[in-house]
């Protein structure tokens, strides 16, 4: 994350204005700006460190969004806001909606849209951080129905990070590790999420911690 840190720090110094960090995603990010949300927690952490004068955090999450929905609304919801940094967190619905609605996203198209978003952002000299999807179900005995597919998409995102020079925030790995330690009862929810997908308070804390380290340290 060192490069990311230096990069953001340098933006902050040169511009003499607040570095604008935009969080771009689905319902999880939409909830991130709520009172207990991970973006709100990040803001509080910056205040605690007296860094709040240097950073402005913006949420741009919409429930149900898949990668192509992000692509469709990136002009109005991202570029129009002139962010210095964009954190993309998407993928749960691309997998989940396959079974629930028959409207998930094919893996090759997932990659294509994801990289098209990154290219457009990088062309504007926006620093792009990308995240793996955290969880659809928290069971630790490898029986979450969609884990195989979710791991596949997480793998695609890890490759995208490498090939497009984007720092990776591996929420999938963080969630799996956290659950292996803390979910010895093999619960399907309630550890980091309320419902297997959306963050509870512990989840918002865990995500805020890993993001703080990636973005601001």
Distance from C-alpha of 143 to C-alpha of 129, rounded to nearest angstrom: 30
Of positions 2, 125, 142, 184, contacts its own copies by CB under 8 A: 142
Of positions 56, 77, 149, 209, contacts its own copies by CB under 8 A: 149
| Smallest gap from residue 83 Cβ to its own copies (A) | 22
Q: Is 113 in the site for its own copies (CB under 8 A)?
A: yes
Of positions 18, 112, 187, 189, contacts its own copies by CB under 8 A: 112
| Smallest gap from residue 99 Cβ to its own copies (A) | 6
| Smallest gap from residue 8 Cβ to its own copies (A) | 30
Angle at 122 between CA 117 and CA 125, to 5 degrees: 145
Which run of H or E residues covers position 21?
A: strand 19-25
Q: Is 69 in the site for its own copies (CB under 8 A)?
A: yes
> What are the tokens at 189?
């929810």
Looking at the Cβ atoms of 18 and 173, the one nearer to its own copies is 173
Looking at the Cβ atoms of 17 and 109, the one nearer to its own copies is 109
Q: Is 84 in the site for its own copies (CB under 8 A)?
A: no
Distance from C-alpha of 35 to C-alpha of 60, rounded to nearest angstrom: 16
Q: To 10 degrees, the CA torsion angle through 211, 205, 170, 17?
A: -10
Distance from C-alpha of 89 to C-alpha of 101, rounded to nearest angstrom: 21
> What are the tokens at 125?
């000299």
Cβ atoms within 10 Å of 24's Cβ, excluding its own: 28
Q: Is 155 in the site for its own copies (CB under 8 A)?
A: yes
Q: Is 160 in the site for its own copies (CB under 8 A)?
A: no
| Smallest gap from residue 82 Cβ to its own copies (A) | 22
Of positions 59, 133, 137, 167, contacts its own copies by CB under 8 A: 137
Would residue 165 be called left, alpha or beta, if left means φ above 0 and alpha means ψ between -120 and 50 degrees? left
For binding to its own copies (CB under 8 A), which residues are involved? 68-69, 71-72, 97-99, 101-106, 109, 112-113, 116, 137, 141-149, 151-152, 155
């Amino acid at each position: 994350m060192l490069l990311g840190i230096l990069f953001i720090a340098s933006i902050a110094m040169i511009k003499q204005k607040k570095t604008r960090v935009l969080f771009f995603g689905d319902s999880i990010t939409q909830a991130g700006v709520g009172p207990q949300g991970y973006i709100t927690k990040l803001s509080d952490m910056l205040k605690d460190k007296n860094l709040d004068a240097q950073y402005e955090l913006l949420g741009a999450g919409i429930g149900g969004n898949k990668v192509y929905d992000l692509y469709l609304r990136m002009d109005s919801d991202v570029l129009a806001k002139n962010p210095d940094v964009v954190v993309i967190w998407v993928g749960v619905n691309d997998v989940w909606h396959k079974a629930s609605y028959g409207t998930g996203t094919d893996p090759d198209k997932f990659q294509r849209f994801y990289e098209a978003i990154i290219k457009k952002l990088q062309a504007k000299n926006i620093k792009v951080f990308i995240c793996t999807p955290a969880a659809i179900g928290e069971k630790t005995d490898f029986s979450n129905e969609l884990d195989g597919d979710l791991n596949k998409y997480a793998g695609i995102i890890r490759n995208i990070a490498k090939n497009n020079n984007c720092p990776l925030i591996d929420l999938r790995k963080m969630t799996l590790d956290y659950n292996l330690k803390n979910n010895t009862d093999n619960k399907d929810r309630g550890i980091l999420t309320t419902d297997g997908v959306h963050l509870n308070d512990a989840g918002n804390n865990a995500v805020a911690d890993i993001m703080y380290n990636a973005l601001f340290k």
